[in-house]
Amino acid sequence: MASPEPVFAPYRLAPGALPEEAARAAASAEATPLVAGAGEPLPGPLVNTALADVPAGRAASPAEACRAADGSTAGGGGPARACCSSPRQRAKIAEASRAAVQAGFAGICLDRPDASLALGLLGAGFCPECQRALARHLAREYGEHFQPVDYLALARAAIAQASGAISFEQLPFGRDFWRVRHDALPRAIGDYARDARDAARAANRPFDVVAQFEEVGHAQLRAARHLDAAIFPARPGPGTAGLGLARLLRAAMGRRPCALAPAPDATPAALARLAAVGATCGVDLSGVEPSGDAGREVAAVRRLARRLQRHAIAPASCDPVAECAILYASEADLWTAGRHRAAVERVAEILAALHVQAPIVTKVQDAPPGAVLVLAGCAGMAPHEAKDARRRLEAGAGILALGEPSAADEAGRPVPSPAFPPGKPGGTRVGEGTYAVLPPLVKDGATAAPDGALLDRALAALLGRGRRAATVLARVPVLVILHRVPGALLVHLVAEERAQGATLFLGVHVAGGARRARFVSADGQDVRIPMNPSGNSVSTVLPAFRGYAVLSLSI
């Protein structure tokens, strides 16, 4: 970001709060930058580090809002939601950005620009602007002789005939409609960001463009590439606790700052857990009140995260150690309406529970050499991704598929892909590589527990036995996430319950011959501890701790 923040943990000033008092409390909890309404009178020094809140997802009036399939104002009775395809909305946001530059703000925070998309298939996308965008797409897709259709009438007829919940596949030109709606958000965010940066350039000032999204999804993750930082809702997928989501967001954001906004009713215990789990991937919490039990615990995690950042060893500046690399395939997310993403989050947590180091990647090429590529619920991936995966397999890599992978073309139509032969849990030889297939983790919308014995067999076939990056022997679950930078290995640890006498083993292929390590915990410990050689690993008994801790080794 233009103004590097120690930790990206945006804090929204409550309207009418005394700004200096609130800012002091937030700063003491390292909850920065401040996000303030553009009209809030902020004292000069505060403005220069604050982001101006821009209500990008709100329509100025119901007349300017997007529309639902039944013709009503998008918003389901709540505030009217803006249309992503509306030039009028773009002009309003550009105006707000210029005003923020002039008022001296450090940047803008686009508030829920995805508000209309978050209403789902039938809740928005039926206003005249959206329908024009669809008509342009249809003419492109089906040629200039394509007769314009009264899409609204067609859609309403299909909805009237459908029984129960309706998916995009049941709408006429449903895949086109789904694609156009999801393309509108990244395009809009790109436009909003360009307008804001143009205004800042004209004023010769550094300026950050940040967005807080209402949902995590295909369009939001694509839109994020236009931003300097982003805030996503902390709504982990079914059957997951948050690590999978944090891994996914880190993958989507690369080294840029990213925060999670917890649900308003999250308990102090849930907030503390989320702060610790997020910290292992360099993802902080936004919007936690600095006072109270949760505020104190979250602040302690932030102080440790800030210390890592000062030494350039925070997760976002390091590379995750990868025994497996889980592919998040953007196209599969779109065409499975999120089921692929749910499977990705879930497999990340299943592997973490086994202490397998498994970051998420957004491209096959980003999987480090030697890592087993994991394809979870990968239905409808882009044909070139399927080809890249096959090439990697033939060249000697391992692939673990949970559910048979498949490819789809630009319009979401399944295409026959010779990339993946039938496989079995124990692995099949393909070229120089090994291909193992397990049953899907998400079936008919419900998550299924993996068969532990089958998973063990597949991992043994793919990773080999006995050569693991990290294992922990402890009476309580301990999460271990490894990152490295040249010269150092960082072991991020989370124990929800107090872990006493936990023994950590690190493979010599990641830890080298380190004989000493430094253990720092959010609960205040900072001690040097010995590492003991034991066969192909080095081991140590960790000091008793609860919550978040980091062990650093010079390698």
Which CB atom, from 67 or from 355, has the smaller least distance to Zn ion?
A: 67
Two tokens, residue 159: 């909805």
**Nearer residue to Zn ion within complex by CB, 36 or 184:** 184
Q: Binding residues for Zn ion, per CB under 5 A?
A: 66, 83, 127, 129-130
The b/e string for 327-342 (b: 16+ C-beta within 10 A; e otherwise) is bbbbbbbbbbbbbbbb
CB of 108 to Zn ion, least distance (A): 22
Q: How far is the CB of 220 from Zn ion (least distance, A)?
A: 17
Instruction: Report, in Å, the least distance between residue 129 CB and Zn ion.
Output: 5
Residue 304 contacts residue 280 (beta carbons within 8 Å) = no
Nearer to Zn ion by C-beta: 83 or 210? 83
Q: Give the shortest CB-313-to-Zn ion separation in angstroms.
A: 45
Joined tokens for residue 529: 């501890």
Smallest gap, in angstroms, from Cβ of residue 130 to Zn ion? Answer: 3
The residue (of 66 and 313) whose beta carbon lies closer to Zn ion is: 66
Strand ordering across the sheet containing 208-212 = 11-12, 34-37, 51-54, 107-111, 208-212, 229-233, 258-261, 284-285
Residue among 59 and 304 whose Cβ is closer to Zn ion: 59
Which one, 67 or 218, has the nearer CB to Zn ion?
67
- What distance in Å separates the CA atoms of residue 383 and residue 381, rounded to the nearest whole number? 6
Residue where the block lists tokens 């001296």: 104
Beta-carbon-side half-sphere exposure of residue 88 (alpha carbons within 13 Å): 12
67 DSSP assignment: B
Q: Closest distance between Zn ion and the C-beta of residue 127, in Å? A: 3
* 68 versus 313: smaller Cβ distance to Zn ion: 68
Residue 121 vs 229, nearer CB to Zn ion: 121
CB of 65 to Zn ion, least distance (A): 8
- Of 245, 244, 197, nearest in space to 220 by CA: 245
Least distance from C-beta 64 to Zn ion, angstroms? 10
Round to whole Å and give the CA distance between 179 and 184: 9
- Least separation in angstroms between residue 122's CB and Zn ion is 13
Q: How far apart are CA 338 and CA 239, in angstroms?
A: 14
Cβ atoms of residues 52 and 105 within 8 Å: yes
Whole-angstrom distance, CA of residue 329 vs CA of residue 388: 12
Whole-number Cα distances in Å, 381 to 225, 249, 327, 506: 20, 19, 10, 35
Nearer to Zn ion among residue 23 and residue 127 (C-beta):
127
Nearer to Zn ion, 5 or 129 (CB): 129
**Closer CB to Zn ion, 159 or 544, in the complex:** 159
Q: How far is the CB of 267 from Zn ion (least distance, A)?
A: 37
CA nearest neighbour of 394 among 360, 417, 428: 428
How far apart are CB 209 and Zn ion at their closest, in Å?
22
Strands 516-521 vs 545-554: parallel, antiparallel or unpaired: antiparallel
Q: Which of 86, 91, 93, 73 is nearest to 133 (CA)?
A: 86
Rounded to the nearest whole angstrom, what is the least distance from the CB of residue 113 to Zn ion in the complex?
Answer: 13
**Residue 306 zone, left/alpha/beta (φ > 0; ψ -120 to 50; rest):** alpha
Maximum alpha-carbon separation in the chain: 75
Tokens 């089906």, residue located: 142
Non-local CB neighbours of 390 within 8 Å, separated by 6+ positions:
418, 419, 420, 430
Cβ proximity to Zn ion: between 13 and 134 the closer is: 134
Closest CA to 146 of 176, 188, 122, 123: 176
Residue 478: in which H helix or E strand, if any?
A: strand 478-485
Give the nearer residue to Zn ion in terms of CB position, either 59 or 249.
Answer: 59
Taking the complex as a whole, the smallest distance from the CB of residue 62 to Zn ion amounts, in Å, to 13
Question: Scanning the structure block, which residue is given the tokens 């079914």?
Answer: 238
